[in-house]
Structures are given as structure tokens and as C-alpha cells.
Amino acid sequence: MKKNALAALSALLALAGPGRLLQGADARSENFQTHCSVCHGDDGKGQTEEGRKKKARDLTNAKWQDSIDDARIVRSITKGHDEMPAFRKKLTESEIKALAAEVRSLARRPS
């Protein structure tokens, strides 16, 4: 599972292009900003107005991240989950996998 996450994150960084190592909200991909940030916020915590209405998951929660596999994240993006819409008709398979890797990159880890 960890190898899959690492491979997906590597793919995401490759898609970001050379020299594009950004931090914080600036690091969010265009697809994340377009399709995810409205509910999950640029920080992934789900504390936007829309996110609070829809009870959007805190994507930075390491305990939640550790409890699921990459396939679950891909499935949720593809098919939707609870109040989250499906993105299978709006995003390609590779874009969905890149978003899943981006979600993985949001996990808060104890220092």
C-alpha cells in the first residue's frame, strides 16, 4: 500500500512539471483546486462553507489515511461517496490517480 502511494505521489510530482515544488495551497493541482477545494479547501481540512454543509472529510487526518488504501480513494473520486459527487465523467483515469496521490500527500504526520 505504501509503495502504491509513493508511486502515485511520484507520478503527481512528475505531472507538476520541472521546478514546481510548491508548498501549502500553492501546491494544489489545478484539478484539486477546481474539483476538490470548494468542499475540502486548499488545505484539505474540509472547513470551507460548502465543506461544513456537506460534512466533507478532513483529508489531512493521518488516522483516516492509515485506515484506507489507495483504491478506496480512487473509488471515491471516481464514483463519489456520501455527498461527494462522482468525477468519472469529468476526469481521466490518470487525473483521478493523480488526485488520489495528492490526497495522500495531505496527511498530517506527527513530528
**pLDDT digit string (tens) for the chain, length 111 residues:** 555 544 555 454 444 443 334 445 557 999 999 999 999 999 999 999 999 999 999 999 999 999 999 999 999 999 999 999 999 999 999 999 999 999 999 987 665
Output the pLDDT for position 4: 55
Taking the whole predicted model, whether its pTM rises above 0.85 is answered as no
Q: What count of other Cβ atoms lies within 10 Å of the Cβ of residue 3?
A: 8
Output the pLDDT for position 111: 55
What domains sit in the chain, N to C, each tagged with a CATH number?
A: 30-111 (1.10.760.10)
How far apart, in whole angstroms, are the C-alpha atoms of residue 72 and residue 26? 26
The residue to which cell 502515485 is assigned = 8
Output the pLDDT for position 108: 78
